[in-house]
Structures are given as C-alpha cells and as structure tokens.
Amino acid sequence: MPDSSSSAMMRIGIVGYGHLGQFLVEKITTAGARLGVTLAFVWNRNPDKLRGSVPEQLILYDLSDFKDRGVDVIVEVCHPRIVKEFGVLFLSHTHFLVGSPSALSDQHLNTQLRQAAEEHGRTLYLPTGALWGGQDIQRLDDSGALKALFIRMSKHPSCFRLTGDVLSDWTSNEGRRVLFSGSVAELCPVAPNNVNTMAAAAVAAGTLGFDGVRGEIVSDTALSDYHMVEVEVIGLNGFSVHTVRKNPAKLGAVTGTATFNSFWSSLLVCKGHGGRVYLC
C-alpha cells in the first residue's frame, strides 16, 4: 500500500466519471503536479468507461478497496446514493469532499457523517458550487444573526433532471414556470441533481438547516445561455443581501461552466481542517 503520509503530494480518489469526474481527472493530470495533487485512483460504476482514458494502475474496480490506495481525499462526483453507502466508511479513513450534498437532506445520514468526521478527525468538505457568499452566510449563522435564507435557481427546461414528470410537457417558447417552491428538504428528493447549490446553502446556514432554508426552482425558456442563482439573506436589525449570479451554461447542461472551476478550487482546499464539516 502506498504511504500517503510520506508524500508531500495530496493523493485524490475520484468516485464517478461523468462530467465533473472527467473534468477533475483532466485537471489533476495536467495541472496537479504543480499544485501538489496527484491521482490515487478513479472509480466508476462501469469501469469500461475508464479504460483507455485512465491509466490501468489508477482504475479502482471495487470501491471498498479504496483503503489500499493511500488516499488523502475522496471526491464523490456521481450520485447521492454513494454518499449514503460509503460516506461513513470513507470518513473513517480519509477526508471526504461530497459532490452531491443533496444527500445531506437525509437527517439521519447528515448526523452519521458529522459524527464520523468528528470521531475520526477527518474533514467532511462541501463544495460551494454555484453558491455565491457561502462563507459569509456561514459566518452570519455562526454569529447567531441569520434569520432567513431563500435561494431561487432558474434554468432552461432542458437543464432540469426531475424525479417526477412536472416538466415533461414544456414547449420551446412557454416562458417562465415556477416548478417548485418550499423547503430545501422538500426540494432535494424532487430535483436531486439540480439543488446541490441549495443543499450547500442549507449546510452553511446550519441553524436554519434543510427544513428552514427556502428554495424555488424555475423553468424559463428565455435562459438559453445561462443558469441564474438568486440568494436572499435576511439578518437581524434590517440586515439583508440579495445576489444574482448568471452562470454560463449550454442548453441541456445540468451544471454551469463556472461551477466546474469552482469545484476544482474547492478540491485544492481539502488539505485537512479537523473533524468537522467545512464549506470550501
């Protein structure tokens, strides 16, 4: 087994080889050495997708074998189910960057992951993704001055992946349609791939949590070039912040292009911040 402690390089395990996984593997391969990060392994549900693109010695066939690869940080970029099945096990050996934070809307899992991080002194990292001002929200929350938080994500209908069929009937020029409005806890199961930004916000706003942070998803056929993320923060004594982020995105893209680079920046932060949850 490689000894990660003797190496100055941070060894990364990538779990999932879709859009984000491929982007991160490419970044680590091309720019990692200069920035002190290297690949420990890549896992994908279907390993055939890895052959030819990832060196054979870096392919992990059985995810339970991650411990044998001397990994410092595991990056989940596939599905909330993997967070549920492996998150606690990962944290008992290594730091863990959760790419699908909507998984944390499951309160039982949320508690288990926090406890595992604390018990093993490993950091549970949450990427801010497309959330602007996440650390500011967290600071406001830490000081006890956060009263309310609302996030609206508006996208072209082709950019949504919903579990129900609320959007199966969209037409090319129908304009704006509010798809869902409610707590982030209610939203996560409806649109697990579209609400990661809101989930990161619910973690930042820990005292409000997934039940207290409000969210809205809006389909808008006018948004053919970008996703829009609006954040409204209400604090004490009339304090308020309203941000509007335009995230360039192609038609049909679930993830805005700026979010990929945001993820890469988040990964470079994961050098260990103790046994706790850390927004990065």
Ligand X SMILES: NC(=O)c1ccc[n+]([C@@H]2O[C@H](COP(=O)([O-])OP(=O)(O)OC[C@H]3O[C@@H](n4cnc5c(N)ncnc54)[C@H](O)[C@@H]3O)[C@@H](O)[C@H]2O)c1
Residue 37 Cβ, how far from ligand X at the closest point, in Å? Answer: 19
CA dihedral 77, 85, 134, 276 (to 10 degrees): -120
* Cα 92 to Cα 103: distance, rounded to the nearest angstrom: 18
Q: Is the CB of residue 265 less than 8 Å from the CB of residue 277?
A: no
The region of 13-21, 34-42, 229-237, 269-277 touching ligand X under the rule CB under 6 A is 13-21
Could you say which residues in the range 170-189 bind ligand X, by CB under 6 A? none
User: Closest residue to ligand X, Cβ-based?
Assistant: 18
Residues numbered 20 to 39 that lie near ligand X (CB under 6 A) are 20-21
> Which listed range, 12-20, 24-32, 148-156, 220-228, lies at the site for ligand X (CB under 6 A)?
12-20
In angstroms, give the least distance from the CB of 44 to ligand X: 5
Q: Residues 47-86 vs ligand X: string with x where CB under 6 A?
A: ------------------------------xxx-xx----
Instruction: State the Cα–Cα distance between residues 2 and 280, nearest whole angstrom.
Output: 27
| Binding-site member from 100, 105, 123, 183 for ligand X (CB under 6 A) | 100
Phi, psi of 155 (to 5 degrees): -145, 165
Query: Of 183 and 196, which CB lies nearer to ligand X in the complex structure?
Result: 196
Question: DSSP 3-state assignment of 265?
Answer: helix
65 vs 174, which CB is nearer to ligand X?
Answer: 65
Rounded CA separation 245/251 (Å): 17
CB of residue 194 to ligand X, shortest distance in Å: 7
Which of 13, 32, 129, 235 contacts ligand X by CB under 6 A? 129
Q: Provide, rounded to whole angstroms, the least separation between the CB of residue 149 and ligand X.
A: 17
Q: What contacts 250, CB < 8 A, 6 or more positions away?
A: 257
Is 196 near ligand X (CB under 6 A)?
yes
- Give the footprint of ligand X on residues 227-266 (CB under 6 A): 254-255, 259
Q: How many residues bind ligand X (CB under 6 A)?
A: 25
Residue closer to ligand X (CB basis): 85 or 225: 85
Q: Is 158 in the site for ligand X (CB under 6 A)?
A: no
Q: Looking at residue 23, what DSSP letter applies?
A: H
Rounded to a whole number of angstroms, the CA Rg of the chain reads: 19
Q: CA-CA distances (angstroms) from residue 10 to 39, 71, 91, 184?
A: 8, 8, 16, 34
CB contact burial 170-195 (16+ within 10 A = b; e otherwise):
beeeeeeeebbeebbbebbebbbbbb
Residues near ligand X, by CB under 6 A: 16-21, 44-45, 77-79, 81-82, 99-101, 127, 129-130, 193, 196-197, 254-255, 259
